[in-house]
A and B are shown apart, each in its own frame.
Chain A
Amino acid sequence: MHSHAFAVSLAVSTLLGCAATAPANETAPETTPLEVAPNHTLSDQPTGTTPDIRDAISYARDKVAPALVHIRVVSYSYYGGKENKSQSVGSGTIFSPEGYIVTNAHVVNDGREFKVTLADKREIPAKLIGEDPMTDLAVLKIDPNETGPLQNASFTTSDNLQVGDYVLAMGSPFALSRSVTLGIVSNTERVFTSSSGDDLADQEFDFNSSPEVFTQWIQHDALINPGNSGGPLVNMKGELVGVNARGGAGMSFAIPAALARNITSRIIKDGEVIRSTLGISLKSIKRSGYDDGILVNSVDDDSPAAKAGIHAGDVIVKLNDQPVSARFPEQIPAVARAIADSPVGSTINLVVLRDHDELSVSATTERLLRNDPDEAALRLFGLSASQITDQIVRAWRLDSNKGALVRGVTSGGPAGLAEPSLNYGDIIRSIASKPVDSLKDLLDIYKDIAKQDPLPEYVLVEFERRGSNQITLLKPRRDKPHDPPREIPKAWIGVATQPILRTLAEQLGDKDLVGFRVTRVYPKTDAATAGLKVGDIITAINGDRLNPRGMQDAGMFQRQIRKLNIGEDANLTLTREGESIAVNVPLERTRIGEDEALRDTNKDFELTVRELTFFDRDENRWDDTIQGVIVVNADNAGWAGTAGIFMGDLIQRINNTEITDIKSYRDAMDVIAKDQPERVTFVVLRGQRTQFKFAEPSWKPKTAEETAKEAPKP
C-alpha cells in the first residue's frame, strides 16, 4: 500500500536501461504498440516559423483545455494498525461526453475520495470506475447531470506519431493546475529493462505491481513534473496521443493512445481489466544458447502451466501455431500480451523445446488474480486487517482464503498488549467464538461489539500463526480524551532575567553588581505592580546574595524563587540607576507551560488543539480580548488540513460560536459531530490577521468495497 505525499503523484523513475524495440513481428491486436507510419504528412506539424508554432499550440491547447481536469485524491492507507489519510494531486482528461476521465492508476491508488476541478474552476466529486496498475491507467467519472454538458477530448485514431513531432503536455505540475509545456517526441517505442539488460523490469505478474510488460512508451521532452501524472499528451491537431505517467532528468514518458483507448474501454465495461494467465514468467533467450523461442523462467505451483506439464527451463517456440521468439527483452511484451489477452478459460496450444526435444502441450488459461485486498482499521482492537485474496493464499501457501489477515497492530493498543499479542501476518479465525471467514465477517462482529456500552471487558480471539492455532484475549478500549498532567505550582515572579557575571559587572562600573538583570517585566503581574523595571539588577533575595558564576547559573534566580512559598513576599535587593533599593514582590504561582496545556484531539477532523497559555499571549502580544485555542496539529489530509488550517493557527470561531477556551471548543465540536453539517467555517488568527477556512467533512466515508459497489455501471 502506498501513502502519497502532497503533490507527488508522478513517479520520477530512474531509468534502469533503455533500448529501442525490435520491429513487431505479429499482427496487431488492439494493444499493439504504435507502428511507425511511412506516410506521415508534414502538414500535421507546424513548419517552424514562430507565428505558425504559436497558432498550432493555441489550436491544440484550445481543443483539449476544456477537457483537462485537476484531480485531488484523498487516500487511505494502513500502517501500524491505524488508518492513515494522505492527499495527492494529479491530472486527467475527460474523454467522453458521459464524463469519463482517464488518468494514471498511481494517481488514484488507495484513493477513497476524488475531487475534480473543471476548466471553469468548479470542483466536483468524481467516482472511481476502475484501475489497471499493469498499464498504470484508471478511469474516473463525473456526472454531466451535475456539471452540465461536458466538452471532451478524443484519443487519436492515427498511428503516425513520429520522432520529432511537436507535442504538448498539459496538467498540474506541483499542483499548479492548467499548465502547458511544449516538446517533441523522442522515441515512440520505449521500454524499460533491468540493470543487466537481460530481463524486462519486474516480471512478476502481480496485480499490484506495474511491470509495464504491456507498454511501449512514448518518450518526449515536454517538461512534466509531479502533478502531471495522468494528464494528456496532445498533438498539434489537438488529439490525445498519450497519457503522461512518468518522467525525470528532462525525459518524459506517456502511455500511447491506442493502449489507453483499449484499456479504458475495458475498464468502463468491466470495472477492471480481465486478463488470463498461465502462471509462468518469461525471459528472453539472450545468452541461453537457444536461437529462437522464449524461455519459461518459472512455473507457479498448481498453475495452468504446471497442470499442462510445462517446466521451468522450457523454451516456447509456438503459441497457437504462431512462432514466437524473444531474443531480447524488448520482445517479451508481445508474447505476454498474447497470453494475457486470450479469453479466460481458453486453451492455448504451445510447442516447447525441452532439452532440445520438441513437445506439444495444451494449457487452459485462468484468470490473472487481483491482489488489492480490502483493508480496514479496527480502532477498538488496535489493529488493521484485510481480506485474504487468492493471490495471498498462493503467495503465503495458505490452505484457504478463510479468515482475516492482520496487517498491522497499534503500539500500546489492545491487540499489542494482549498476551500473547497479535502480530502482522496472523490470521483471525474467530472473535468471541464467532467464526471469521472473511473481512466482512470480522467487521460485522466488530461492529456488534462496538455498539455495546460498556464494551466487554475481554474478547476472545482465535488466530493462526505460521500454522499453529492460538487464542488470546483482547481488552477493547475506546480512545478517551486525556489531558496532560499538571506541574505542581511553585512560586514565581513575573520577570525574565539574565545573569550579570563578574566581568560584566566590572564593565558596568561596579563589581558588586553581580546578580540578575531584569530583561522583561510581564504586564499584569505582581512584579509589574510592585514596580520592577527592565534594567534593575537584583543582587539578593530575602538577604541571600545571588552570585551567578557563569551561564550554567542562568536559572538561579527563578530556582531560588521556586524554593519559596506562593503568596509570600520576596524581598528583593536591587540596584537601579546606581542606587540600591529594596522591593517587596508577592510571589505568584508558576504559569502553565505549553506541555501542560489542556488539549483536545478530534479524530473526525484530525485536528489537535490546546488552550492558550500566559506565554502564548506574551509572545504574540495578545491581550485578554484575544481568545481561542491554538492548533497543535492538523493532519494535511484530514478535514481541517484540507481546509487549510495549520499548526499555530488560533481558532477563534467555529460557525457562529465564539471559541474562548478548550471547553467552548469541545462543546462546539460536539454540536458539529451531532449535526454533521456539509460545511464548517473556522475563523482563525494567523499572525495578526484573521482568515476564514472552510472544511467540507465527508461524514461516514465508506470502505473501498462499499464505494466499488456504488460505482456507476455503463
Chain B
Amino acid sequence: MSRTNRVLLAAAASVTLLALAAFAPSDSRVRADDPVADSMKSLAETRASALVTVKYVLKGGAAGLDEDMEMEAPGLIVEQPGLVLVANTYLGGFMSRFGGGASLTPTDIKVLIGDDTQGVDAKMIAKDGELDLAWIQINEPAAEGYPFVSFADAATPDIGDTIFGIRRMGKFFDRATLISQARISGITRKPRHIYFDSSNSIVSLGLPVFDLHGKVVGVGTMVMPDQDEMEGLRGIFSSREDFQNTGMILSAQEVVKATARAKEMAASGKTPDEPAPAPTEPKPEDAGNMQP
C-alpha cells in the first residue's frame, strides 16, 4: 500500500472512529478527554447542595398601595452557619429602583434546602442596592452546618475562558440541578469588577458562576446606572443590549468585600443612624381594630 493510501486509510479510520464515538451507546458518563463534562458533573455533585430556594412575602408598595405578594427566589449559601446570598432585585430592589418611591419589604422569609418543602425561618440582615446583593441569615444553625460555596479561593478568568452557571429548575421539575456552559465574553472594572457573558445563557441573578476548575468566578448581578446616569443613556439602543441581553457576573472579590460589610453591619446590631427599637407585638385582634 502506498504511503498516501496508508495516510488516507488512517484518516478515514479516524473519522469513522470519531463518528462512531459520537453515536456511541450511553456509557459515555466519564470521559478523560472531556474536562467540560467532568467539571459540569463535579459542580452538580458538589456545589448544588448549596443552592436554596428562598420563599417570602413581599409587603408594601407605592403610596396608596398595600399589596402582599408571595414570592420565591433562588439563593446561595455562602457560609456554613447559614448566610444566604440572594439578588436584591428579587427582594424588592427592582421596585425600589424603578417603582417611583415604592418601598418593599420581604417578610415571613423561609429558606428551603434540598428536598425540604416547609423551609427554615430566616431574616434579611442587609442589602446592597448598588451591587444588587442581599443577605439572609437562617435563624437556626444546623448541627453540622449548612452546605455552602466558599468564595475564599476565587478565580480571575480571562476573556475566552470557559465558565459554568448553576441553578435549579422549578418545583414542578423537582428542583433539578441545571449546569450551563459559556465563555467569558468581556471584562470591565467600571463601575465595578464585572465579567460578561454575551450569550446570556448561564447567568442567574444571585447565583454563582464557576470556572473549569470549580472555582467561583462571581455571581449573577444587575448593576444599573442611577437616575443621573440614565440620562446619559437615553435613546442609546446598545445600552438596551447591555442590560437585557448580556449576562453580568459580579466578581467574587467584590462579593467578598460586600459580604464582609454586611456581616459587620449585622454584627454591630445597628447602623450609625440608630434605628428605632423593634416595635412591640400587635394588640389582640379585637382591641381598637376595625375588623373582627
Given A551-B228, A562-B130, A661:B276 Cβ within 8 A: yes
Binds A, one of B10-18, B19-27, B34-42, B57-65: B57-65
Interface residues in A474-533 by Cβ distance below 8 A to B read: 477-490
Q: Which of A482, A673, A699, A700 has the most CB of B within 10 A?
A: A482
**Min CB distance, A361 to chain B, in Å?**
48
Asked whether any CB of chain B lies closer than 8 Å to the CB of A696, the reply is: no
Interface residues in B201-257 by Cβ distance below 8 A to A read: 225-226, 228-229, 231-233
Residues of the A chain whose Cβ atoms lie less than 8 Å from the Cβ of B70: 411-412, 416-417
**Cα distance, A635 to B107, chains bound together (Å):** 23
Binds B, one of A25-33, A198-206, A594-602: A594-602
B67 contacts A411, C-beta separation under 8 Å: yes
Binds B, one of A148-156, A207-215, A293-301, A376-384: A376-384
**Min CB distance, A289 to chain B, in Å?**
56
B127 contacts A485, C-beta separation under 8 Å: yes
**Min CB distance, B95 to chain A, in Å?**
9
Interface residues in B49-87 by Cβ distance below 8 A to A read: 57-60, 63-64, 66-70
Q: Mark B278-290, 1 if CB is under 8 A from A, else 0.
A: 1111111111111
Q: Mark B160-189, 1 if CB is under 8 A from A, else 0.
A: 000000000000000000000000000000
B289 contacts A411, C-beta separation under 8 Å: no
**Cα distance, A595 to B97, chains bound together (Å):** 9
Asked whether any CB of chain A lies closer than 8 Å to the CB of B145, the reply is: no
Residues of the B chain whose Cβ atoms lie less than 8 Å from the Cβ of A700: 286, 288
Number of B residues near A (Cβ < 8 Å) is: 64
**Min CB distance, A418 to chain B, in Å?**
11
Of A489, A610, A632, A633, which contacts B272 at CB under 8 A? A489
Interface residues in B95-144 by Cβ distance below 8 A to A read: 96, 101-108, 124-130, 134
Of A410, A647, A699, which contacts B63 at CB under 8 A? A647
A485 contacts B134, C-beta separation under 8 Å: yes
Asked whether any CB of chain A lies closer than 8 Å to the CB of B291, the reply is: yes
Residues of the A chain whose Cβ atoms lie less than 8 Å from the Cβ of B102: 595
Asked whether any CB of chain B lies closer than 8 Å to the CB of A451, the reply is: yes
A552 contacts B127, C-beta separation under 8 Å: no
Asked whether any CB of chain A lies closer than 8 Å to the CB of B153, the reply is: no
**Cα distance, A584 to B68, chains bound together (Å):** 47
B272 contacts A589, C-beta separation under 8 Å: yes
Residues of the B chain whose Cβ atoms lie less than 8 Å from the Cβ of A673: 283, 287-288
A554 contacts B228, C-beta separation under 8 Å: yes
Interface residues in A554-597 by Cβ distance below 8 A to B read: 554-556, 559, 562, 589, 591-592, 594-595, 597
Of B126, B231, B285, which contacts A551 at CB under 8 A? B231
Given A377-B291, A451-B284, A483:B130 Cβ within 8 A: no
Chain B residue nearest to A592 (CB atoms) is B273
Given A412-B70, A603-B289, A488:B127 Cβ within 8 A: yes
A604 contacts B276, C-beta separation under 8 Å: no
**Min CB distance, A407 to chain B, in Å?**
14
Chain A residue nearest to B99 (CB atoms) is A595
A487 contacts B129, C-beta separation under 8 Å: yes
**Min CB distance, B232 to chain A, in Å?**
3
**Cα distance, A663 to B275, chains bound together (Å):** 9
B288 contacts A699, C-beta separation under 8 Å: yes
A447 contacts B282, C-beta separation under 8 Å: no
Of A380, A482, A635, which contacts B105 at CB under 8 A? A482
Asked whether any CB of chain B lies closer than 8 Å to the CB of A611, the reply is: yes
**Cα distance, A604 to B125, chains bound together (Å):** 30
Residues of the A chain whose Cβ atoms lie less than 8 Å from the Cβ of B59: 412, 482
Asked whether any CB of chain A lies closer than 8 Å to the CB of B265, the reply is: yes
Residues of the B chain whose Cβ atoms lie less than 8 Å from the Cβ of A552: 225, 229, 232-233
Asked whether any CB of chain B lies closer than 8 Å to the CB of A443, the reply is: yes
B290 contacts A603, C-beta separation under 8 Å: yes
A480 contacts B107, C-beta separation under 8 Å: yes
**Cα distance, A34 to B256, chains bound together (Å):** 85
Residues of the B chain whose Cβ atoms lie less than 8 Å from the Cβ of A380: 285
Residues of the A chain whose Cβ atoms lie less than 8 Å from the Cβ of B91: 485
Q: Which of B134, B272, B285 has the most CB of A within 10 A?
A: B285
Given A412-B68, A554-B228, A488:B128 Cβ within 8 A: yes
Of A413, A608, A635, A670, which contacts B280 at CB under 8 A? A670
Asked whether any CB of chain B lies closer than 8 Å to the CB of A553, the reply is: yes
Chain B residue nearest to A700 (CB atoms) is B288
**Cα distance, A224 to B67, chains bound together (Å):** 37
Of A413, A595, A703, which contacts B103 at CB under 8 A? A595
Chain A, interface size: which category? 35 or more
- B-side binding surface: helix, strand, loop or mixed? loop
**Min CB distance, A624 to chain B, in Å?**
14
**Min CB distance, B67 to chain A, in Å?**
6
**Cα distance, A618 to B104, chains bound together (Å):** 24
**Cα distance, A151 to B124, chains bound together (Å):** 64
Asked whether any CB of chain B lies closer than 8 Å to the CB of A701, the reply is: yes
B282 contacts A604, C-beta separation under 8 Å: no
**Cα distance, A600 to B64, chains bound together (Å):** 14
Asked whether any CB of chain B lies closer than 8 Å to the CB of A292, the reply is: no
**Min CB distance, A470 to chain B, in Å?**
19
Given A450-B292, A604-B288, A699-B288, A480:B276 Cβ within 8 A: no
Asked whether any CB of chain B lies closer than 8 Å to the CB of A550, the reply is: yes
Asked whether any CB of chain B lies closer than 8 Å to the CB of A666, the reply is: yes
Residues of the A chain whose Cβ atoms lie less than 8 Å from the Cβ of B276: 483, 598, 611, 661-663, 666
Chain B residue nearest to A566 (CB atoms) is B272
Given A552-B229, A554-B229, A592-B273, A486:B96 Cβ within 8 A: no
**Cα distance, A676 to B287, chains bound together (Å):** 10
B275 contacts A483, C-beta separation under 8 Å: yes
**Cα distance, A610 to B174, chains bound together (Å):** 42
Residues of the A chain whose Cβ atoms lie less than 8 Å from the Cβ of B290: 83, 603-604, 701
**Cα distance, A378 to B60, chains bound together (Å):** 20
**Cα distance, A517 to B283, chains bound together (Å):** 53
Chain B residue nearest to A550 (CB atoms) is B232
Of A481, A553, A603, which contacts B279 at CB under 8 A? A481
Asked whether any CB of chain B lies closer than 8 Å to the CB of A446, the reply is: yes
Chain A residue nearest to B191 (CB atoms) is A559
**Cα distance, A347 to B60, chains bound together (Å):** 59
Residues of the B chain whose Cβ atoms lie less than 8 Å from the Cβ of A83: 290-291
Asked whether any CB of chain A lies closer than 8 Å to the CB of B271, the reply is: yes
Of A450, A480, A551, A559, which contacts B232 at CB under 8 A? A551
**Cα distance, A700 to B258, chains bound together (Å):** 49
A446 contacts B292, C-beta separation under 8 Å: yes
Residues of the B chain whose Cβ atoms lie less than 8 Å from the Cβ of A481: 279, 282
A-B contact pairs, 10 of them (CB 8 A): A412-B57, A412-B69, A413-B68, A486-B275, A551-B231, A552-B229, A562-B130, A663-B276, A670-B280, A700-B288
Interface residues, chain B, CB within 8 Å of chain A?
57-60, 63-64, 66-70, 91-92, 96, 101-108, 124-130, 134, 190-191, 225-226, 228-229, 231-233, 258, 261-262, 265, 271-273, 275-292
Interface residues, chain A, CB within 8 Å of chain B?
82-83, 376-380, 410-413, 416-417, 443, 446-447, 450-451, 453, 477-490, 550-556, 559, 562, 589, 591-592, 594-595, 597-601, 603-604, 608, 610-611, 632-633, 635, 647, 661-663, 666, 670, 673-674, 676, 699-701, 703
In the A-B complex, the 9 residue pairs with the closest CB atoms: A551-B232, A412-B68, A552-B232, A554-B228, A450-B285, A481-B279, A412-B70, A412-B57, A663-B276
Q: A598-B276, A673-B288 are in contact. List 16 more A-B contacts (CB 8 A).
A: A83-B291, A379-B291, A443-B292, A446-B292, A485-B127, A486-B271, A487-B129, A488-B128, A551-B233, A562-B130, A595-B101, A595-B102, A598-B275, A647-B63, A662-B276, A676-B288
